Amino acid sequence: MFSQINSAGLFGLNAFMVTVQASISPGQPTFDIVGMPDIAVQESKARIRAVLGHLQLKLLNGRVTVNLAPASVRKIGSMFDLPIITALMKLGGLITADLTDSVFIGELSLDGGLAPVNGALSMVLTAAQNGIKRVFLPKANAKEASVADGIEIYGAEHITQIIEFLRHGTGLSPEEKYIPKRRAAEHIADFADVMGQSAAKSAIEVAAAGSHNLLMLGPPGSGKSMLAKRIPSILPEITFAESIETTQIYSVAGEIDPAEPLVTERPFRAVSHTASAVGLVGGGSIPRPGEISLAHNGVLFLDELPEFDRRVLEALRQPLENGDIVISRASGSVSYPCDVMLVAAMNPCPCGNFGSPTKKCTCSQQKVTAYLNRISQPVLDRIDIQIEVKPVEYSDLSRRIPQESSAAIAERVQKAVEIQKKRFAGTSIKSNSGITSDIIGEVCRLTPDAEEMLKAAFDRLGLSARAYDRILKVARTCADLAGSEEIQKPHIAQAISFRSLDRKYWSR
Ligand SMILES: Nc1ncnc2c1ncn2[C@@H]1O[C@H](COP(=O)(O)OP(=O)(O)O)[C@@H](O)[C@H]1O
Ligand SMILES: [Mg+2]
Ligand SMILES: [Zn+2]
């Protein structure tokens, strides 16, 4: 006797279809699960025995074998409890419904309650792609799963609800499609609160418009953290596709809010300098996405950059360059996307006053150098926009003139993003920061006097070829913000001004 139930498994972010096969033959009662199950799957046996006992169902009266196919792929997690018990009920004749177009995912508690699993959205999307029409899963995962198109979601709190539904067609109804609420704008800190600082604000606007990495260097109290916290208020709107991508990462990491499961704002992840490399970029014996992946399609904010462990910062290099992070394990390698805008802030030296025209730095030259050198050149090389934030002028603070609101800045950012969308349609490039060297000449056309200015700066400042490309990409964003097809002189001038830190602080 034989039965078969569809389910799905998860490896990293990637879900795959699993067929749960059960067979029973006469003999001493045994219960085996094969097909590369990990420990959580093996423990499923104990949970299933307990639930069957609780429901007084005698379904294990023979030699029972459960196979999770494909047998060559490792099965990790507790999501197979529900499909296995369903396969046993089918085997025992308790359920006779045709379940070929259905998928079952869920963990059982000992009394038959269904507990949520991580990664439900990825699994349901994969099921839908494979032509599955219905998913049965824990109620706590139902809202998250309902954003998938073309598939009905049945969320249940208890296994008995699923039994009743499959036997009599009653007790459960498809989850209503969840329509996410956008966060009310008034809850986000606004740039209107920041007095003066027009240079810093426009650098941030350019960074947000082109998704350029940004470093702010300045003395304590100059408002670096204050400025960074306001970046979410001007970021371009997240697209639905991006929203699903980012939600999948949160789902796999177990960071979904069941009440508002879809990530509908670009994430802003402020990471403490005590973070480990694994915490920041991901990893662990059971691989988990790190902060940089939780910031996917949004901002990763590293405040007090030199306070981070140097090895932790170095671990960022590859992921920042590639836009994803690959974690290799004996069982295979998983990859998590991490397309982020990096925002970093730092003081110029341990006391904070190095480079200040008014305050005296009390640090030795060695100390200043050592402090700055905690940020390695390869990391700096990945930051297109580097600016000095000076303390706000007293006159700016005292006058209390109304400052431009985040909404007004956001409108310009969004326009510049629309221009980029058209420019990069049909390519894998998402924003100006991702312009590759093969197309840079084509998409970054300069007026003759802009060309001349760039050449002069190149000779005068001794820029590297890498710096040259970065200036062009940033200038492209400045031109987009101005609605200009060609890159003009002021755009080049602004882009060059974002490179001044190199020479003032890191010229060795
Ligand atoms: N331009 C400004 N406008 C209004 N308040 C400011 C400004 N700059 C600094 N402040 C005030 O100073 C505080 C300290 O700024 P903060 O962002 O923590 O500085 P930093 O991170 O550079 O050390 C802010 O919380 C804010 O109250
Ligand atoms: Mg600060
Ligand atoms: Zn100092």
Query: Last residue of a domain, which of 123, 138, 168?
Result: 168
Cβ neighbors of 112 (< 8 A, separation 6 or more) are: 51, 54, 55, 158, 159, 160
What is the CA(280)–ligand 3 centre distance, in A?
Answer: 28
Instruction: Report which DSSP code applies to 190.
Output: -
The pTM of this model reads 0.88
Higher pLDDT, 334 or 140: 140
Q: What is the reported pLDDT for 282?
A: 92
d(CA 22, CA 86): 10
Each residue's pLDDT tens digit, 76-105 = 889 999 999 999 999 999 999 999 999 999
Cβ neighbors of 167 (< 8 A, separation 6 or more) are: 94, 95, 97
452: domain CATH number? 1.10.8
Instruction: Report which DSSP code applies to 37.
Output: B
The parent domain of residue 498 ranges over: 435-508
Do residues 267 and 378 share a domain?
yes
* 178 located within any domain: no
Q: How would DSSP label each residue in 404-451?
A: PPHHHHHHHHHHHHHHHHHHTTTSS--SGGG--HHHHHHH--B-HHHH
Do residues 112 and 158 share a domain?
yes
Sheet containing 152-156: order of strands: 30-34, 63-69, 14-25, 2-11, 102-104, 134-138, 152-156
Q: Torsions phi, psi of 258, nearest 5? A: -60, -25
What is the CA(343)–ligand 2 centre distance, in A?
Answer: 12
Tell me how crowded residue 491 is: count the other CB atoms within 10 A of its CB.
28
Residues facing residue 269 across a β-bridge: 300
Q: What is the reported pLDDT for 396?
A: 78
191, 409 contact by CB (below 8 A): yes
For 382, half-sphere exposure in the C-beta direction (CA atoms, 13 angstrom radius) is: 19
Each residue's pLDDT tens digit, 294-330 = 999 999 999 999 999 989 999 999 999 899 999 887 7
Do residues 419 and 439 share a domain?
no
Instruction: Please say if the pLDDT value at position 355 is more than 90.
Output: no
What is the CA(201)–ligand 3 centre distance, in A?
Answer: 25
Do residues 163 and 235 share a domain?
no
Q: What does the block give as tokens for 266?
A: 């670009």
Confidence band of 395 (pLDDT split at 50, 70, 90): confident
Q: What is the reported pLDDT for 183?
A: 61
* 180 located within any domain: no
Q: What does the block give as tokens for 501?
A: 């830190």
Do residues 282 and 329 share a domain?
yes
Confidence band of 39 (pLDDT split at 50, 70, 90): confident
390 lines ligand 1 (CB under 6 A): no
Q: What is the reported pLDDT for 176?
A: 94
Confidence band of 507 (pLDDT split at 50, 70, 90): low
Do residues 415 and 451 share a domain?
no
* 258 located within any domain: yes
* 174 located within any domain: no
Query: Last residue of a domain, which of 408, 426, 444?
Result: 426
Number of domains in the chain: 3
Do residues 355 and 389 share a domain?
yes
78: domain CATH number? 3.30.230.10
Query: Last residue of a domain, which of 111, 134, 168?
Result: 168
Each residue's pLDDT tens digit, 166-215 = 999 999 999 999 887 766 655 689 999 999 999 999 999 999 999 999 99
Do residues 264 and 386 share a domain?
yes
Please give the single-letter amino acid code of residue 21. Q
Cβ neighbors of 11 (< 8 A, separation 6 or more) are: 73, 74, 76, 331, 332, 334
Which atom in ligand 1 lies closest to the alpha carbon of residue 389?
Answer: 22
235, 208 contact by CB (below 8 A): yes
Nearest CA to ligand 1 atom 14: 221
* 219 located within any domain: yes
Tell me how crowded residue 208 is: count the other CB atoms within 10 A of its CB.
30
195 lines ligand 1 (CB under 6 A): yes
Using N-to-C axis directions, what is the helix angle for 159-168 and 81-91, rounded to 10°? 40
291: domain CATH number? 3.40.50.300
Do residues 404 and 478 share a domain?
no
Instruction: Please say if the pLDDT value at position 508 is more than 60.
Output: no
* 38 located within any domain: yes
Output helix, strand, coil percentages for the chain, rounded to the nearest 5.
Answer: 40, 20, 40
Mean pLDDT of the residues in the chain: 92
Chain centre to alpha carbon of residue 502: 30
Q: Torsions phi, psi of 464, nearest 5? A: -80, 165
Q: What is the reported pLDDT for 505?
A: 81
122 lines ligand 1 (CB under 6 A): no
Nearest CA to ligand 1 atom 25: 226
d(CA 264, CA 276): 28
- Mean pLDDT of all residues in 57-65: 93
Higher pLDDT, 415 or 1: 415
> Closest Cα partner for 320 from 297, 345, 340, 299?
340
Do residues 248 and 347 share a domain?
yes
Angle at 17 between CA 2 and CA 327, to 5 degrees: 135
270 lines ligand 1 (CB under 6 A): no
Do residues 9 and 149 share a domain?
yes
* 175 located within any domain: no
Least confidently predicted of 25-34, 193-202, 304-313, 353-362: 353-362
68, 35 contact by CB (below 8 A): yes
Question: Exposed, middle or buried: residue 137 (CB in 10 Å: 0-12, 13-18, 19+)?
Answer: buried
Q: What is the reported pLDDT for 187?
A: 66
Do residues 206 and 280 share a domain?
yes
Each residue's pLDDT tens digit, 219-264 = 999 999 999 999 999 999 998 889 999 999 999 999 988 888 889 8
196 lines ligand 1 (CB under 6 A): yes
Each residue's pLDDT tens digit, 267-302 = 999 999 999 999 999 988 778 899 999 999 999 999
311, 271 contact by CB (below 8 A): no
Sheet containing 214-217: order of strands: 268-271, 299-302, 341-346, 214-217, 385-388
Q: What is the reported pLDDT for 319?
A: 94
Q: Torsions phi, psi of 346, nearest 5? A: -160, 155
* 262 located within any domain: yes
Q: What is the reported pLDDT for 185?
A: 59
Percent of the chain with pLDDT over 90: 76
